[in-house]
Chains A and B, each alone.
Chain A
């Protein structure tokens, strides 16, 4: 109803208008709806009858006049039946709420165009300059100040004390927060003080510092979807959302180089070419060249020069390399910090790469075909995880003297020892010499390479035969230096015998062929006999002997080793002095059993030789590959004794080191629980890649170590894209009728939604239907219509 009605008509009803500041219609009629409908029906009939009866009049204005009079009278009658009344009220308007969200994520640490001032500084400066505005808003609205990054927190310590240290920015949570905390409260608007860079999409995927190749696209899509949801949600609130944001920089004015992303898989295969692509984002530099380097564990792997071009920001640099060791390693892509860069932290991106074996590459060299060779070769060939290269010496110089047909009639190739034992050697995981004497084919120089290969982490096996060990001429060669026992005098024992398990052999995974100790011992006691052995010397002090001869003794009186193992620096060596292990296969089948024992024995040996993590004595495993900053990293540590049983007592020394550093950040000593497994927790002080090293004394004087790498995610996501999100700001402005205000601007007001919710303190109802003048007026209307009808000759 119009103010005219309120100012002219209400005083006509009462003289107490000064006590009220508001009014409204109310309906107090007690007639039922059915009654009102029946009345409406009769009134319509009366209208129709009046119109029909007025058809006799020739004058149309007369007919219309009569109809209007009857219509007004009928309407007035029906209106009075509703019981109209005016309610006078004394009301108070309730203040709206104004939440203001202040971005304290790390991206607000980026320097603004005014040097040495961060975005946060500029925002604080804006806040100070507009103290009068905030004061006025505080009076008109209920203003709420929040800081936000990954979480939203009410600001209680003052704007001046805010720090930009949040590791992620979650803009979408603001919508949820408004819905949860302001659902029943009227909002005047929302103010966001932010650069608009939402990074949670990047954080939501599982990260180890390396991005799946379509990861960036997925991130962009997810970020886009998140911001779109935020926009839709804010628009539904029907309030203005204002953004106070950093100035959009001139691309040339903001200078920064960042290793924005590293694309690739989180794992690569050993000896296979692995490829990672680095996305280099360059702002403010348009000429010259930029070195981009790939490091592994702090050692430079590759470097390339990037030619910068005008008007180009994103460059992709591809690195291809062949990992040579299995395990988890820290890689990093780095670029130098150039003068004038606003951020230094983003010039390097570390990532973890797990190098796994797709297949175990085995080089199998044998001096002559034999049944032992045939069954081992067949086992290796049938093992789907083994990539086998084998060379059998099928004829010797002696054979050639007897019979030397033209080469075209032979299916023989030259033994490519030079290639195998020089440049190709590092591509193998395991080298097996089976009944092979090297001297007729190559110089001892190549044996140096094999010893070096082992020291660098390779594995080597020598299997017995009359061309092996001392009989193969390996005395005083580098091979003797890595074997687990002395070579003796080169004698061969031709007596059949059954090897005996040593104490170590009873528990070691290579010879533990059956689960139960008793069953395993019984199995070894009935395996087919061996046809003889190489009589080697005493075991090396740091070797482990698993099988020994039941009768033969070395010069020092110790049992002759049959199967011994040795760790040589990073590599592992196994010596088996018999050439009849095939009997554990074929002959056992003939005895009504299976060849499983043979397969288990050799497969266990291969797993141990190539350091299958499942066969390490100290196993350290981080429960996750990556943790958030501030989150406790958790680890499971399992310690096995020398005989591969859980170590039931003792201590472990735990060290946490940063990346490739050697000085521990944290170290502690813990007791080993009875079950040999303990759990360890540690909270990183800052982000980065860390190494947890565990050392345990598995027996007196002998220690074993294990380690795992883990990543603590930090602020880098915040620095991937340092430009304010102007597109998002523009969309907010368009969808919510808010404003985008730059830190450098000066404003005097913020358009906000006026308060609409009221509180009623006092009210008075003035009814209309029971007033005499209303009834007189109604009667006068009907009387006038009846009088005119009579005058114009109508019934």
Chain B
């Protein structure tokens, strides 16, 4: 009973979100073909199940509320060899355990994908400081771009100013106050975050937050959303916010 009550309350509490989501997605449905909307895809690896199945939908709902971006509701899971891979210029990879090394042809395809305008965002969900996912993710990034390594993105990087001015970092675990990335020329095709941002967005089947944020509060969760929105804005606008026309206002607000 207790469980029923709790779940019922949670369902009632989350109902507005779902209705709003349905309305917002519907509002976009009249747009120019469903394929035109901005779709994300999850990178599907054989031994890495999707541990955050609702997180991206939640974040996209927030994105639709807060930005002008027209979002595609479906988030397919695509393997590197999937024929549809290049219809989705942004891939998300989350996980809490190590995964086996990808075959060379998958690496080549991912390299082509990322070198020609695609973006891969890897979000680490595991709690262990020295977890296997971290090792696997770094190994994957290194194999895709052997000449580069994941490095901490400086505060000047567009990722911290593509929509919100990021001063504080969120996520389910407030582990690091930066994002790592591989930068080639002036674009970062691989982003790697370690704070389990998707964990902060994940809801359960009743619309409740699936995980508490550690050690913080709702501000920490809000910051996780802001990072997520910035990452998607970065995927869509790249270095738009580095244009000189934006610089004075951004600098003024940062002071």
Residues on A lying within 8 angstroms of B by beta carbon are 367-375, 377-378, 381, 388-396, 399, 402-403, 405, 407-413, 416, 464-466, 471, 492-496, 531-534, 579-580, 583, 585-587, 589-591, 595
Complex Cα distance, B64 from A254, in Å, reads: 82
Contact indicator B249/A496 (Cβ below 8 Å): no
- Interface status of B49 (Cβ within 8 A of chain A): no
Task: Answer whether residue B164 sits at the interface, using C-beta atoms and an 8 A cutoff.
Answer: yes
Residues in chain B near residue A585, CB distance under 8 A: 116-117
* Known contacts A371-B38, A377-B240; A532/B233 CB under 8 A: no
Contact of A590 with B85 at beta-carbon distance under 8 Å, contacts A374-B237, A465-B32, A466-B31 already known: yes
Instruction: Given the known inter-chain contacts A585-B117, A589-B86, please indicate yes or no for A395 contacting B33, CB distance below 8 A.
Output: no
- Which residues in A have their C-beta under 8 angstroms from that of B113? 589-590
The segment from B67-75, B93-101, B149-157 found at the interface with A is B67-75
Contact indicator B243/A390 (Cβ below 8 Å):
yes
Contact of A492 (CB < 8 Å), options: B32, B69, B118: B32
A14 to B127, CA, bound (A): 140
Indicate if the CB atoms of A370 and B36 lie closer than 8 Å: yes
Q: Closest B residue to A393 by CB, please name it.
A: B68
Q: Are A408 and B253 in contact (CB under 8 A)?
A: yes
Instruction: Give the 8 A-B residue pairs with the shortest CB-CB distance, closest first.
Output: A590-B86, A532-B33, A531-B35, A531-B33, A369-B236, A368-B68, A411-B161, A494-B33
Give the size category of B's interface with A. Answer: 35 or more
B142 part of interface (Cβ distance < 8 Å): no
**B236/A399 in contact, CB under 8 A:** no
Q: Within 8 Å of chain A (Cβ to Cβ): is B6?
A: no
Return the contact of A368 from the options B65, B69, B243, B249 (Cβ within 8 A).
Answer: B69
Q: Which residue of B lies closest to A494 (CB)?
A: B33
Contact A373 B117 (CB under 8 A): no
Report the separation of the CA atoms of residues A396 and B24 in the bound assembly, to the nearest whole angstrom: 14
Q: In the complex the two chains form, what is the Cα distance from A534 to B249 in whole Å? A: 36
B238, A589: Cβ atoms under 8 Å? no
Q: Is the CB of A492 within 8 A of B86?
A: no
Whether the pair A407, B86 counts as a contact (CB closer than 8 A) is: no
Alpha-carbon distance A391/B243, docked complex (angstroms): 10
> Chain A residues near B89 (CB, 8 Å)?
371, 374, 586
Residue ID in chain B nearest A594 by CB atoms: B116
**Nearest chain A CB to B253's CB is how many angstroms away?**
5
- Docked pose: A159 CA to B34 CA in angstroms: 92
B236 & A411 in contact (Cβ 8 Å cutoff) = no
Question: Is A369's CB under 8 angstroms from B68's CB?
Answer: yes
Q: Does B12 contact A (CB under 8 A)?
A: no
Query: Chain B's nearest CB lies how many Å from the CB of A437?
Result: 11
The reply to whether A403 and B65 contact each other, CB–CB distance below 8 Å, is yes
How far does the alpha carbon of A587 sit from the alpha carbon of B118 in the complex, in Å? 10
Having A377-B237, A408-B165, one finds 16 other A-B pairs with CB under 8 Å, namely: A369-B69, A369-B233, A369-B236, A371-B38, A374-B236, A391-B245, A394-B67, A410-B253, A411-B249, A466-B30, A492-B32, A531-B32, A533-B32, A585-B116, A589-B86, A590-B112
Q: Does B250 contact A (CB under 8 A)?
A: yes
Residues from chain B with a CB closer than 8 A to the CB of A579 are: 32, 36
Chain B min CB distance to A47 (Å) = 101
CB distance from A524 to the nearest CB of B (A): 19
Q: Does B129 contact A (CB under 8 A)?
A: no
State A336–B37 Cα separation when bound (angstroms): 66
The closest CB in chain B to the CB of A400 belongs to: B66
Interface centre among B32, B35, B83, B118, by most chain A C-beta atoms within 10 angstroms, is: B32
- Complex: how many Å from CA A496 to CA B38? 16
User: Is the beta-carbon distance between B65 and A496 smaller than 8 angstroms?
Assistant: no
Looking at the assembled complex, report how far the CB atom of A497 sits from the nearest CB atom of chain B, in whole angstroms: 10
8 A Cβ contacts from B233-249 to A: 233, 235-241, 243, 245-246, 249
- Closest B residue, CB atoms, query A408: B253
Q: Say yes or no: A394 contacts B32, CB within 8 Å.
A: no
| A411 near B165: Cβ-Cβ < 8 Å | yes
Of the candidates B66, B116, B233, the one whose C-beta lies within 8 Å of that of A403 is B66
Known contacts: A370-B69, A395-B67, A591-B86. The answer to whether A390 contacts B240 by CB under 8 A is yes
Provide the residues of chain B in CB contact with A413, threshold 8 Å.
245-246, 249
Q: Are B165 and A409 in contact (CB under 8 A)?
A: yes
| B206: interface (CB < 8 Å) | no
A394 touching B33, Cβ below 8 Å: no
Smallest distance from the beta carbon of B234 to chain A beta carbons, Å? 10
CB distance from B8 to the nearest CB of A (A): 26
A393: chain B residues at CB < 8 Å are: 68
Are A392 and B32 interface neighbours, CB within 8 A? Answer: no
Q: With A410-B164, A411-B163 as given contacts, are A389 and B68 in contact (CB-CB < 8 Å)? A: no
B70 to chain A: which residues have CB within 8 Å? 368, 370, 466
8 A Cβ contacts from B37-95 to A: 37-38, 65-70, 83, 85-87, 89
Closest-CB distance, B33 to chain A (whole angstroms): 3
**Are A396 and B68 neighbours in the complex by a CB distance under 8 Å?**
yes
Q: Tell me if B162 is interfacial: C-beta within 8 Å of chain A.
A: yes
User: Could you tell me if B233 and A394 are in contact, using CB atoms closer than 8 angstroms?
Assistant: yes
For B66, list chain A residues within 8 Å (CB).
Answer: 395, 399, 402-403
Q: Determine the distance from Cα of A585 to Cα of B113 in the docked complex, in whole angstroms.
A: 11
Distance of A411 Cα from B245 Cα, bound (Å): 12
Closest to A578 in B: B32
What's the Cα separation between A395 and B65 when bound, in Å?
Answer: 9
Residue contact A392 to B117, C-beta cutoff 8 Å: no
CB-defined contacts of B243 to chain A, threshold 8 Å: 388-390
Pick from A410, A464, A595: contact of B116, CB under 8 Å = A595
- CB<8 Å pairs between A and B, sample of 8: A374-B117, A409-B164, A411-B163, A492-B31, A494-B33, A531-B35, A585-B116, A590-B83
Whether A394 contacts B163 in the complex (CB less than 8 A), given A492-B31, A590-B85, comes out as yes
Chain A residues with Cβ below 8 Å from B163 are 394, 410-412
**Closest chain A residue to B225 by CB distance?**
A403
B32 — which chain A residues lie within 8 A by C-beta?
464-466, 471, 492, 494, 531-534, 579
Does A587 lie within 8 Å of B87, measured CB to CB?
yes
Cβ contacts under 8 Å, A377 to chain B: 237-238, 240
User: Could you tell me the distance between the alpha carbons of A402 and B89 in the complex, rounded to whole angstroms?
Assistant: 28
Contact A496 B233 (CB under 8 A): no
Q: Mark B144-173, 1 if CB is under 8 A from A, else 0.
A: 000000000000000001111100000000
Chain B residues within an 8 Å CB radius of A408: 165, 253
Instruction: Evaluate contact between B68 and A399: CB separation under 8 angstroms.
Output: yes
A389 near B86 with CB under 8 A, answer: no
A595 to chain B, nearest CB (A): 6
Contact A375 B36 (CB under 8 A): no
Q: Is the CB of B253 within 8 A of A407?
A: yes
Q: Is the CB of B116 within 8 A of A531?
A: no
**Chain A residues, CB < 8 A from B36:** 370, 372, 465-466, 531-532, 579-580
A494–B87 CA distance with the chains assembled, in angstroms: 17
What chain B residues lie within 8 Å of A589 (beta carbons)? 86, 112-113, 116
Q: Known contacts A403-B66, A413-B246; decide if A369 and B237 are in contact (CB<8 Å).
A: yes
- Known contacts A373-B236, A586-B89, A591-B86: A496-B68 contact under CB 8 Å: no
- Contact residues in A for B249 (Cβ distance below 8 Å): 411-413
* Residues of chain A with a CB closer than 8 A to B235's CB: 374
- Among the listed A375, A394, A399, A411, which residue makes an inter-chain contact with B117, where contact means beta carbons less than 8 Å apart? A375
Chain B residues in 8 Å Cβ range of A374? 89, 117, 235-238
Please, which residues of chain B bring their CB within 8 A of the CB of A586? 86, 89, 116-118
| B residues near A396, Cβ cutoff 8 Å | 68
Q: Which of A372, A395, A416 has the most CB of B within 10 A?
A: A395
B85 touching A392, Cβ below 8 Å: no
